[in-house]
Amino acid sequence: MDVHNLTDLYTDYLIACPTQTTATGFSSAVNNEISHDKITRLLAEGTINSKKLWQYVKPMCHEIQSDEGVLIIDDSVEEKKYTDQNELINWHFDHSQGRSVKGVNFVTALYHSNGISLPVCVEFVKKTGFAVNKKGKLVRISKRSKNEIFRDMVAVASWNVRFKYVLADIWYCSAKNMTFVKKECGKDFIFAIKENRKVALSEEDKKNGKYVDIKSLKLEGCTLSVYLKQLDFPVIISKQVFKNKDGSTGALYLVSSDLSLSYEQITTIYHKRWKVEDYHKSVKSNSSFAKSQLKLR
């Protein structure tokens, strides 16, 4: 049995098993036709990284790719509060919970085209360095920020597969990331953006340093061409108003480098960003990520 078939079979076991998953448990599930040592060796072959992932998904990506594809980048944290702290399992801020949790922080680049989503890059945030924080306590730090990982992923993906837009949430909406996507990679972006970001309503206003908050503009149901600070090219912004499950009203501000997009187009395309949220939920629930008994070192 080759490595890919064995990997697929073990993946099926992870999805189907309702309890703790182990190599010996897998061996028992296949009537000991595959030894647990074989699975242990498979899992010990090295860390998962973007290079290994791309070798696996490359044929499928090339089959579904299109010029209208999108690259969606986001990070997630799988909490491992009972595992000893190390460079991989450490304290990270979890945006979904609004607090720091101890666990594994990983960044995913998900390619979506023709109704199919496939991960094309994955990087684990490792805190291999040390620094003294404001309280004088020695803490672990990552030598690469998630924004640096973001830019590396966009660059690698632009070499490997065709896509038109990069989609990301507020946490990646920096001027450096926007400039990199547009100028260095030749792609357009649609990002969520904070309502307190400053924009100039014309090139002349930008030259004169006349800026206003995005929140002060009437953007419901339309797009508006503006100039952001630290960007030397115009963008469009829009506001999507929605209702939360509790009946309250929320607002999502969007920014894009594609000046031709209408309100309907920018909101429809950005809605595809939720594909990465679904992917992360699937990884956590179907791979026994949280139930792993291994001590990662």
Based on the domain organization, do 160 and 247 belong to the same domain? yes
Residue 259 resides in a domain: yes
What integer pLDDT is reported at residue 297 of this predicted model?
46
- Judged against a pLDDT cut of 60, whether residue 178 lies above it is answered with yes
Based on the domain organization, do 195 and 259 belong to the same domain? yes
Based on the domain organization, do 200 and 257 belong to the same domain? yes
Based on the domain organization, do 232 and 257 belong to the same domain? yes
Based on the domain organization, do 139 and 227 belong to the same domain? yes
Residue 294 resides in a domain: no
Residue 220 resides in a domain: yes
Count structural domains, the chain: 2
Residue 296 resides in a domain: no
Q: How many beta carbons lie within 10 A of that of residue 165, not counting itself?
A: 25
Based on the domain organization, do 12 and 148 belong to the same domain? no
- Judged against a pLDDT cut of 50, whether residue 262 lies above it is answered with yes
Domain CATH number, residue 251: 3.90.350.10
Residue 295 resides in a domain: no
Mean pLDDT of 242-253: 83
Of all residues in the chain, what percent carry a pLDDT higher than 70? Answer: 95
With 0-12 / 13-18 / 19 or more C-beta atoms within 10 angstroms meaning exposed / middle / buried, residue 38 is middle
Residue 297 resides in a domain: no
Report the chain's mean pLDDT, rounded to a whole number: 90
- Judged against a pLDDT cut of 70, whether residue 292 lies above it is answered with no
Based on the domain organization, do 33 and 100 belong to the same domain? no
Listed ranges 116-120, 216-220, 286-290; the one with the highest mean pLDDT: 116-120
Distance separating alpha carbons of residues 173 and 241, to the nearest angstrom: 20
Q: Of the given ranges (1-5, 24-28, 96-100, 178-182), which has the lowest mean pLDDT? A: 1-5
Residue 84 resides in a domain: yes
Residue 291 resides in a domain: no
Based on the domain organization, do 36 and 53 belong to the same domain? no
Q: pTM value?
A: 0.89
- Nearest-CA neighbor of 269 among 81, 117, 16, 71? 71
- Judged against a pLDDT cut of 60, whether residue 295 lies above it is answered with no
Of all residues in the chain, what percent carry a pLDDT higher than 90? Answer: 60
More confident residue, 192 or 97: 192
- Judged against a pLDDT cut of 60, whether residue 140 lies above it is answered with yes
- Judged against a pLDDT cut of 80, whether residue 169 lies above it is answered with yes
Q: Which amino acid is at 142?
A: S
Based on the domain organization, do 26 and 74 belong to the same domain? no
For residue 3, give its domain range: 1-46
Based on the domain organization, do 78 and 33 belong to the same domain? no
Q: How confident is the model at residue 135 (pLDDT cuts 50, 70, 90)?
A: confident
What integer pLDDT is reported at residue 4 of this predicted model?
64
Based on the domain organization, do 228 and 256 belong to the same domain? yes
89 Cα distance to chain centroid:
18
Based on the domain organization, do 16 and 112 belong to the same domain? no
Mean pLDDT of 174-198: 97
